[in-house]
A and B are shown apart, each in its own frame.
Chain A
């Protein structure tokens, strides 16, 4: 199997394009996805290829178009909904929570909702308080939906395909700051990456850094720095938050006996808290230190560039948390 070098956005686009070619019931809708070629150019060229029936520009009415897509999915179409960013999904939250996630159960299993919601998520360089949310924490809470957050172009490609082929609602958390990241992507339209399988982004024996999406790269930077300090860190890229690859997390912690969870978004009640809980429940006797966490500081995102860097997980904070878990201050 050959590979091609693609940027993250091109990998997502290739996956959508190939799945739309494969299945006529797949269509794409969202703000600026067509004529504008995508607010972040992820959907560039798709309108020209598939026409306005299958690549649909929407007005700014997230609840309305998310609901329409869910309605279309519950009778068998397979919509891909692009939110301009996940921040704007907040006004469509009811549609995702009360309709997409619940329809199957409240119909006694009569209906299913094969739909993909995707958008950039998390911090994005000084876009301020209302445009910097890490929304996966809100959504991973909800049974009935799946949440994925790839960190590499290959995973973006393979997981987007899996998402489109899934019979359940799948939420794809991308990152604006990763869209230009280049990487090798399998040159195979049948390449898919299963959900619920984490990837070991760097093997190590001293401590487990557990992360997803953009902060995986922060963890790799931190691991390089820790290596210079004689500490061999393992980096786990979860890729998928619901389902969560508990086995890979526990296997790593049982090897290193120490863990730091690194993510964007606030720590209070978030996905990191869930992971920390599972580690203490299932690997309590293997732990040599409390599980550490590095996340957004517990404040709304400031605009100021230096303060923003202060709030989001950065390499020095991850290094410091790792050293603390190793009692190596």
Chain B
């Protein structure tokens, strides 16, 4: 890759990361105004994970993750409008206002959810990979979860079966050091989570997330192995969320200094600096301006969209007649 095409690519990833951050900042503001209800788990600080992983995927590959899913949906191609409208609970949202922040789905772009039960989606991801293998599609599934999912049974059953049946799935543990307010020192018996992989005969890899291109390069290796040899892998990406677990979390379990130290290593700003240093400041400013317009348009769209009709409820519960 030439320096110029590398910077073009980095600009594309910066665009995605900046879009996630700005969408979420606006979502947080709307939440504070009571426009968005329920839970809102922000991804701010972790954007380089979604953007880097997505860059290594093909359109036919699938992404599945947790309730911290805004970034995943955007990098796979969901519009800011469909996302914001979903947060507002509107009919024009990706899940027609029935899913909400935690349940973003975009089947067309193979973003297959947003799940609210920790670890429960890990076997589902293996199942999507099972179907790809069954149909010989050469497609890979990427499954995201936090280190808080590692102690639960479905993590182990999902990895064990994926390794046993050689399924094309890459398990990505976004280790942001806290499962809600509890540090990993009090939830896990080992600090290196890739130690779980050899017990299942699975490949693993581990990276501290600082550079989005580095994330992409590591994930690409795992995806290629999964695609070519049906070898699943467990990848631990050490990252950090700058905001609370959800909007209701004051974050008293960690110091301001700790958070600020991580913010100083923000992968998004690092990408921005690389672009500016590479002479692409004008591009950066243009992209930021475009994103501003896109995000404000998304908010406006969400505000003005209609509420979903109650007629949707039964029709989306069953295919065909309601079973009562």
User: Contacts A63-B153, A75-B128, A95-B123 known; A104 to B319 CB distance under 8 Å?
Assistant: yes
Q: Give, as a whole number of angstroms, the nearest-CB distance from B14 to chain A.
A: 30
**B318 near A104: Cβ-Cβ < 8 Å:** yes
Question: What CA separation (Å) do A159 and B122 show in the bound complex?
Answer: 31
Question: What CA separation (Å) do A322 and B120 show in the bound complex?
Answer: 46
B residues in contact with A196, CB < 8 Å:
323
B248 contacts chain A at the CB level, 8 A cutoff: no
Mark interface residues in A123-157 (1 if CB within 8 Å of B CB, else 0): 00000000000000000000111100000000000
**A107 near B124: Cβ-Cβ < 8 Å:** no
Chain B interface residue number, banded: 35 or more
Among the listed stretches B98-106, B173-181, B202-210, which one makes contact with chain A, having 4 or more residues with CB under 8 Å of it? B98-106
Scan residues 107-131 of chain B and give those whose CB is less than 8 A from a CB of chain A: 107, 112-117, 120-131
Scan residues 171-227 of chain B and give those whose CB is less than 8 A from a CB of chain A: none
Scan residues 66-122 of chain B and give those whose CB is less than 8 A from a CB of chain A: 93-99, 103, 105-107, 112-117, 120-122
Taking CB as reference atom, which chain A residue is nearest B315?
A109
A70 contacts chain B at the CB level, 8 A cutoff: yes
A193 contacts chain B at the CB level, 8 A cutoff: no
Partner among A77, A111, A112, A143 whose Cβ is within 8 Å of the Cβ of B134: A77
Partner among A76, A99, A105, A109 whose Cβ is within 8 Å of the Cβ of B124: A99
Mark interface residues in A60-89 (1 if CB within 8 Å of B CB, else 0): 010111111111111111000000000000
User: Contacts A74-B112, A99-B124 known; A108 to B320 CB distance under 8 Å?
Assistant: no
B288 contacts chain A at the CB level, 8 A cutoff: no
Partner among B131, B319, B324 whose Cβ is within 8 Å of the Cβ of A167: B319
A residues in contact with B153, CB < 8 Å:
63, 91
Q: Give, as a whole number of angstroms, the nearest-CB distance from A21 to chain B.
A: 17
A residues in contact with B128, CB < 8 Å:
71-72, 74-75
User: Contacts A65-B161, A111-B107 known; A168 to B319 CB distance under 8 Å?
Assistant: yes
**B161 near A242: Cβ-Cβ < 8 Å:** no
**B126 near A107: Cβ-Cβ < 8 Å:** no
Taking CB as reference atom, which chain B residue is nearest A54?
B134
**B113 near A64: Cβ-Cβ < 8 Å:** no
**A106 near B105: Cβ-Cβ < 8 Å:** yes
**A61 near B103: Cβ-Cβ < 8 Å:** no
**B99 near A108: Cβ-Cβ < 8 Å:** yes
**B316 near A95: Cβ-Cβ < 8 Å:** no
**B316 near A105: Cβ-Cβ < 8 Å:** yes
Q: Give, as a whole number of angstroms, the nearest-CB distance from A74 to chain B.
A: 7
**B158 near A64: Cβ-Cβ < 8 Å:** yes
A residues in contact with B129, CB < 8 Å:
71
**B130 near A72: Cβ-Cβ < 8 Å:** yes
Partner among A95, A107, A112, A145 whose Cβ is within 8 Å of the Cβ of B95: A107
Question: What CA separation (Å) do A66 and B121 show in the bound complex?
Answer: 11
Question: What CA separation (Å) do A64 and B125 show in the bound complex?
Answer: 11
B residues in contact with A91, CB < 8 Å:
153
**A61 near B107: Cβ-Cβ < 8 Å:** no
B residues in contact with A98, CB < 8 Å:
115-117, 120
**B161 near A108: Cβ-Cβ < 8 Å:** no
Question: What CA separation (Å) do A152 and B97 show in the bound complex?
Answer: 44
Report the number of A-B residue pairs with Cβ-Cβ less than 8 Å.
157
Mark interface residues in B260-288 (1 if CB within 8 Å of A CB, else 0): 00000000000000000000000000000
B residues in contact with A104, CB < 8 Å:
316-319
Question: What CA separation (Å) do A94 and B316 show in the bound complex?
Answer: 20
**A107 near B113: Cβ-Cβ < 8 Å:** yes
User: Contacts A67-B126, A109-B316 known; A27 to B134 CB distance under 8 Å?
Assistant: yes
A residues in contact with B127, CB < 8 Å:
67-75
Scan residues 226-251 of chain A and give those whose CB is less than 8 A from a CB of chain B: 242-244
B160 contacts chain A at the CB level, 8 A cutoff: yes
B290 contacts chain A at the CB level, 8 A cutoff: no
Question: What CA separation (Å) do A68 and B143 show in the bound complex?
Answer: 13
A residues in contact with B107, CB < 8 Å:
107, 110-111
Question: What CA separation (Å) do A261 and B13 show in the bound complex?
Answer: 63
B residues in contact with A76, CB < 8 Å:
131
User: Contacts A67-B158, A168-B318, A168-B323 known; A106 to B125 CB distance under 8 Å?
Assistant: no
**B324 near A242: Cβ-Cβ < 8 Å:** yes
Q: Give, as a whole number of angstroms, the nearest-CB distance from A268 to chain B.
A: 21
B29 contacts chain A at the CB level, 8 A cutoff: no
Q: Give, as a whole number of angstroms, the nearest-CB distance from A39 to chain B.
A: 19
**A61 near B161: Cβ-Cβ < 8 Å:** yes
Scan residues 107-121 of chain A and give those whose CB is less than 8 A from a CB of chain B: 107-112
B259 contacts chain A at the CB level, 8 A cutoff: no
Q: Give, as a whole number of angstroms, the nearest-CB distance from A31 to chain B.
A: 13
A201 contacts chain B at the CB level, 8 A cutoff: no
B residues in contact with A71, CB < 8 Å:
123-131
User: Contacts A67-B157, A71-B126, A196-B323 known; A95 to B120 CB distance under 8 Å?
Assistant: yes
User: Contacts A71-B130, A72-B131, A99-B124 known; A108 to B96 CB distance under 8 Å?
Assistant: yes
A329 contacts chain B at the CB level, 8 A cutoff: no
A17 contacts chain B at the CB level, 8 A cutoff: no
Question: What CA separation (Å) do A53 and B165 show in the bound complex?
Answer: 10
Q: Give, as a whole number of angstroms, the nearest-CB distance from A310 to chain B.
A: 35
Question: What CA separation (Å) do A168 and B114 show in the bound complex?
Answer: 20
Partner among A72, A99, A109, A195 whose Cβ is within 8 Å of the Cβ of B312: A109
Q: Which B residues contact A (CB, under 8 angstroms)? A: 62, 93-99, 103, 105-107, 112-117, 120-132, 134-135, 153-154, 157-158, 160-161, 164-165, 312-313, 315-324
A/B interface sample: 10 pairs, CB < 8 A? A71-B129, A77-B131, A103-B113, A104-B318, A108-B97, A111-B105, A111-B112, A143-B318, A144-B317, A196-B323
